[in-house]
Amino acid sequence: GFYYIPGTDTCIKIGGYLRADVTIHGGNSNAPFWNGDGATQTRYLNQYNDYSRFALTVDTRTATEYGVVRTFGQADFTFSTEGNSGALSNSSNMTGTVLTGGTVNNYAGNGGLGVEYAFVQFAGFTLGKSASAFVTPWQGFPGNNTAYLVGGYDTITGINNVQYTAQFGNGVSASIGLDDSSASDYNRTQIVNAAVAGAASSPANTLVPSSANTASCALAMYGAASSNCTALGTAYGGAQLPDLVGNVRIDQAWGVFQISGAVHDVDPGYWTVANTLTSGNFLGGNVQTGAQNFGHPDSKAGGAVSVALQIKNLPTGAGDDFKIEGTWSDGASKYVLGTSAGLGGSFYMFGNGPTGSAGKLAIGAITDGVYSGGPANNGVGGTQVQLTQGLGIRGAFNHNWSPEWSSSLFGGASQLSYGNTAKSIWCASYVASGTTLLPGSSCDPGFTLSEIGLTTRWTPVKNLTFSSEVLYAYLHTNMSGSATGTASSAFPIAAGTAASPYIFGDKGTVSVEFRAQRNF
């Protein structure tokens, strides 16, 4: 597909794809309704979301005495469902800009432009916006359409980096690279400053109710606080060091085996300044006057390790394969959550509860670490950053029924867990921010999110594929018992009372996607 640019010794190839996509009961690219308006099922929710995309790629190659010099770029022109994140949102976002889709420029005659890749390759080096050296060759797509499969890492739209790959022959290679550690879509979730004003954090994980905890900001740690509360945001500091990543890979006719590693700098902002807290709260990365005078928690080294395997040419049929990968993280939760964590600071889902209750509530806090307090917090000492641990697994079995028909059965799961100190300070702020846990309840922000799905494809002619995908996502919360609080984003359906509280429990959601794609 390459041809020489007239008058030069450079070859060029123009390619790309055109895609039309619609998801029912999910966000664009088959994103499950695991937070936002989709999780609360408000009247502001779009029950279907669609988009059209034209991706254009330009690939050039020039032979030199040092080897081939390559440049590659990909631009995406997208027009999607009007509104903000697939919903019109009732939380102070009902503005003309959102109603016309202006937040993403999705109104008549307009659309969005994105840059996925823009890099140069030379003598083993790759420089620019490209796939991380940590990822597998299939990235977050072992056999799925959804762009939100948890259980591992992907940089499918590129991350700014520099890397070097050495080829040893017989399909054996090794890569090492430096990735932009400030990329919130890929390498950061959030550091939570779980500060409680004027009091030390509770050492217990099981909390008792308190009638004084009535502030209407119990979901502040989810970035969904009401106007009289400090929204969480993140207590990360600026990027100090890039992520150091690398892999060793064997890529042969039988399949692929890869081991990857990453080191991530978890660098918090400042300690809490007492006068910024008027009540218990999760404090975000907002400006704190004079914070520099009181220092900050220490930075910590986090990271991740991944092992991946692909087995090709299975006896079940020509072209069939099986892919699986497992990932462990410490203070680097994006490496087990993938792009799913870019949807917000938590997973939270609401639904019908037992008779007499206000409903069922499933929550899970997404963080890289948690810290609390500081020398300025009314004399209360601070707690250093407690790193969040993560585990992830995902994979797919891909089967070809005929040259025109194929299916993929895929799944993934991610788990975040918190140590006792992190639980204590997180739960103390959770209660102080407006939630009352009833007797017998246990507070633990950890969770397990799992997904399973089936994709079926029909390719009537070369490079034209019609596909459908059904996806089930299930959130298991480590919270147990029941809770009450004033009506707020924390409790959207009703104000829970001791007689009819919210019940902590697990919740699932189903989405269906249809797609047509033409590659060229």
Residue with more model confidence, 285 or 244: 244
Is the pLDDT assigned to residue 506 strictly greater than 90? Answer: yes
Which of residues 38 and 260 earns the better pLDDT score? 260
Give pairs for 126-131: CB < 8 Å, separation 24+.
Answer: 126/161, 126/162, 126/163, 126/164, 126/165, 126/177, 127/161, 127/162, 128/160, 128/161, 129/158, 129/159, 129/160, 129/161, 130/72, 130/155, 130/158, 130/159, 130/161, 130/163, 131/155, 131/156, 131/158, 131/159
Is the model's pLDDT at 279 over the cut of 80? no
* pLDDT (0 to 100) of residue 182: 84
For the chain, the residue count is: 520
Residue 200 has pLDDT above 90, yes or no: no
Question: How does 333-367 read in b/e, with b if 16+ C-beta sit within 10 Å?
Answer: bbbbbbbbbbbbbbbbbbbebeeebbbbbbbbbbb
CA distances from 315 to 319, 399, 485 (A): 9, 10, 57
Which residues are bridge partners to 45 per DSSP? 87
Q: Give the single-character DSSP code of 278.
A: S
**pLDDT category of residue 42 using cuts at 50, 70 and 90:** confident
- The per-residue pLDDT of the chain, averaged, comes to 83
Q: For 337-383, what is each residue's pLDDT tens digit?
A: 987 655 457 898 988 888 888 889 899 999 999 988 765 444 456 78
Residue range 356-367, pLDDT digits in tens = 888 898 999 999
Give the pLDDT confidence score for residue 99 in this predicted structure: 47
Q: List the structure tokens of 228.
A: 């009289």
Token pair 């949807």 in the structure block, residue: 343
pTM of the model: 0.87
Of the candidates 502, 505, 509, 507, which has an alpha carbon nearest to the alpha carbon of residue 218? Answer: 502
Q: Are 364 and 477 in contact (CB under 8 A)?
A: yes
pLDDT band, very low/low/confident/very high, at 166 (cuts 50, 70, 90)? very high
Mean predicted confidence (pLDDT) in 458-470: 98
Domain range summary for the chain, segments of one domain joined by +:
124-434
% pLDDT > 90, the chain: 57
| Mean pLDDT, residues 213-220 | 31
Specify the long-range contacts of residues 43-48, CB closer than 8 Å, at least 24 apart.
Answer: 44/87, 44/88, 44/89, 44/90, 45/86, 45/87, 46/81, 46/83, 46/86, 46/87, 46/88, 48/22, 48/23, 48/24, 48/81
Q: In this model, does residue 140 exceed pLDDT 80?
A: yes
Query: Range with the lowest mean pLDDT among 281-295, 403-417, 500-514?
Result: 281-295
Scanning 73-223, the segments in alpha helix (DSSP H) are: 96-99
In the predicted structure, residue 10 carries a pLDDT above the cut 90: yes
Instruction: State which H helix or E strand residue 79 sits in.
Output: strand 67-80
Q: Which residue has the higher pLDDT, 237 or 408?
A: 408
Share of the chain above pLDDT 70, in %: 78
Which spans in 186-313 are helix H?
none
N- to C-terminal Cα separation, the chain: 10
